[in-house]
């Protein structure tokens, strides 16, 4: 049986995206959000891995740009949200909120997390949660299609998921988010040491991801919009969680 801690590799694609590559059975792998064919295929060949499945979190081009070519080249099956099927490459498996699907001996749980887009989903395999553009290190996705109410509900869903330890977002936004969070909540005791680590990783050209659920619950304002200490720190005592979330999202948009 597989362990509960799958081996996952980051594949940088143009600009600040990551495709994630999870090793499954020997020689096989699962891909998440491959936005470009070239760099992903190169890593697969280097590691002598063949993707059996490609999992898509949402329809934006920087997440699906390489999907069709990779599926054709390697014979991989494409998995995505049934709600978004018309905006995704042709799906071999259309999933919905609450599904659990078997993938190469692993169990993959699927949850809908509308907000960034209305058809966004996240995937959990073992202790790993692949969050696309719903949840970032110290941040969350912009509300391009959904509402603050939708995204706040998605935040609450994610922080309540059992067994999640590592979080694999699809963008390297940590340093930008950290600058915003330090201004928003300068007295948060978890931030100084984390800032030092992020700067060291950035200087070395290394990813700051995956992040951890523990880290995000201490430092990510978008997961903490109903926590009394955070609400008090930003001067919004008495406001609802969704009101605080919407206010912080607006501030982040302007940052």
Residues 229 and 216 in one domain: yes
Domain count, the chain: 2
3-state secondary structure the chain: CCCCCCCEEEEEECCCEEEEEEECCCCEEEEECCCCHHHHHHHHHHHCCEEEEEECCCCCHHHHCCHHHHHHHHCCEEEEEHHHHHHCCCCCEEECCCCEEEECCEEEEEEECCCCCCCCEEEEECCEEEEECCEECCEECCCCCCCHHHHHHHHHHHHCCCCCCEEEECECCHHHHHHHHHHHCCCCCCHHHHHHHHHHHHHHCCCCCCEEHHHHHHHCHHHCCCCHHHHHHCCCCCCCHHHHHHHHHHHHHHC
pLDDT digits (tens, 9 = 90+) for 93-135: 999 999 999 998 899 999 999 999 999 999 999 999 999 999 9
Domain containing 35 equals: 8-169
Residues 66 and 127 in one domain: yes
pTM score above 0.85: yes
pLDDT digits (tens, 9 = 90+) for 160-210: 998 899 999 999 999 999 999 999 999 999 999 999 999 999 999 999 999
Residues 160 and 250 in one domain: no
Residues 200 and 129 in one domain: no
2 lies in some domain: no
Above 70 in pLDDT, residue 1?
A: no
């Amino acid at each position: 049986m597989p362990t509960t801690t799958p081996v996952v590799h980051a594949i940088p694609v143009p600009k600040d995206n990551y495709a994630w590559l999870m090793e499954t059975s020997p020689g096989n792998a699962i891909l998440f959000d491959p936005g470009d064919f070239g760099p992903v295929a190169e890593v697969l060949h280097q590691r002598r891995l063949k993707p059996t499945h490609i999992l898509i979190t949402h329809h934006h081009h920087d997440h699906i740009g390489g999907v069709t070519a990779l599926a054709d080249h390697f014979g991989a099956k494409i998995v995505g949200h049934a709600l978004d099927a018309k905006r995704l490459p042709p799906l071999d498996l259309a999933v919905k909120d609450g599904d659990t699907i078997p993938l190469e001996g692993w169990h993959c749980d699927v949850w809908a997390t509308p907000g960034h887009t209305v058809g966004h989903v996240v995937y959990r395999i073992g202790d790993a949660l692949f969050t696309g553009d719903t949840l970032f290190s110290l941040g969350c996705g912009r509300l391009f299609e959904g509402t603050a109410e939708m995204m706040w509900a998605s935040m609450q869903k994610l922080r309540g998921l059992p067994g999640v330890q590592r979080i694999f977002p699809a963008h390297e936004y940590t340093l930008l988010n950290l600058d915003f969070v330090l201004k928003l909540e300068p007295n948060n005791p978890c931030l100084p040491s984390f800032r030092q680590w992020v700067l060291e990783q950035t200087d070395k050209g290394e990813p700051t991801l995956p992040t951890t659920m523990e880290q995000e619950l201490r430092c990510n304002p978008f997961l903490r919009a109903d926590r009394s200490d955070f609400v008090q720190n930003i001067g919004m005592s008495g406001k609802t969680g969704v009101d605080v979330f919407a206010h912080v999202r607006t501030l982040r948009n302007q940052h």
